[in-house]
């Protein structure tokens, strides 16, 4: 590694950044670390992470579909107000099928216990991590570490516009489309979902033919 000029990427230890909600006794962990649903749009998870720029922090809010570990919606903002997570969940609902039962998992941050969040997710089953326990939302936490370690930490990010371009490049042109994932049998999230759709279509067609 020394001869080739290669250095390991250091991972910052996890620290608590979310203040627990006043309604903590009413927030239940429905997901319970069952991270491998059998179909898309069965379990979504979401979280917010910060990105440092020369102009100050910006905040990345992502929603991941756990079936293929695909980022189905994301928003980059200069605030962590409720409006940010509402914009992200509305993006996800606009591009995904939510007719079947769907769990949405998050931490206990104030954004995710707000009335606006409850209204935006009224047809979903809300699930919440235990207090100060990041492993309950490990998949999205892992993705946020990944995008920083593999991509963002390599740049001196100037401002929100620069950060947006970098996030777009990573998620839309690499992570979802190209980057292989062990969970996806070493396919990209898009490829894994496409395979699922092909198999389901063939099964449906064979059942229709059999019924005749």
The string of DSSP letters for 62-126 reads: EEEETTTTEEEEEEEES--SHHHHHHHHHHHHHHS--SS--EEEE-S-GGGGSHHHHHHTTTSEE
Looking at every residue in the chain, the average pLDDT score rounds to 90
* pLDDT confidence of residue 7: 59
Closest CA to 79 of 120, 121, 44, 48: 48
Query: In what side-by-side order are the strands of the sheet with 56-65?
Result: 70-77, 56-65, 43-53, 103-106, 125-128
The model's pTM: 0.86
**What average pLDDT does the segment 39-52 reach?**
98
Beta strand ranges found along the chain (DSSP E):
43-53, 56-65, 70-77, 103-106, 125-128
d(CA 43, CA 125) in angstroms, rounded, equals 9
Three-class secondary structure of residue 207 per DSSP:
helix
Phi/psi of residue 2, nearest 5 degrees: -65, -45
- Look at 29-38, 145-154, 158-167, 199-208 and tell me which has the smallest mean pLDDT: 199-208
**d(C-alpha 33, C-alpha 29), whole Å:** 9
**Model confidence band, residue 205 (pLDDT cutoffs 50, 70, 90):** confident
pLDDT at 24: 56
Q: How far is CA 74 from the centre of its chain?
A: 8
Q: What is the pLDDT of residue 25?
A: 60
Q: Which domains does the chain have, with CATH numbers?
A: 24-211 (3.30.420.10)
The helix/strand/coil state of 26 is: helix
Which residue has tokens 């099928």?
97
């Amino acid at each position: 590694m020394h001869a080739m000029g290669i250095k390991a990427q250091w991972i910052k230890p996890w620290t608590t950044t979310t203040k627990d909600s006043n309604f903590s006794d009413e927030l239940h962990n429905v997901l319970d670390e069952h991270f491998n649903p059998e179909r898309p749009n069965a379990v979504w998870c979401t979280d917010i992470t910060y990105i440092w720029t020369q102009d100050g922090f910006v905040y990345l809010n992502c929603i991941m579909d756990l079936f293929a570990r695909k980022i189905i919606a994301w928003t980059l903002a200069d605030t962590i107000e409720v409006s940010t997570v509402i914009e992200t969940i509305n993006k996800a609902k606009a591009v995904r099928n939510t007719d079947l039962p769907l769990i949405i998992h998050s931490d206990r941050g104030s954004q995710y216990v707000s009335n606006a969040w409850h209204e935006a997710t009224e047809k979903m089953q809300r699930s919440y991590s235990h207090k100060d326990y990041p492993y309950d939302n490990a998949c999205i936490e892992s993705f946020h570490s990944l995008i920083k370690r593999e991509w963002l930490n390599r740049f001196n990010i100037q401002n929100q516009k620069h950060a947006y371009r970098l996030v777009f490049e990573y998620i839309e042109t690499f992570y979802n489309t190209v980057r292989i994932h062990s969970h996806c049998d070493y396919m990209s999230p898009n490829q894994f979902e496409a395979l699922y759709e092909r198999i389901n279509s063939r099964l449906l067609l064979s059942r229709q033919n059999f019924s005749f």
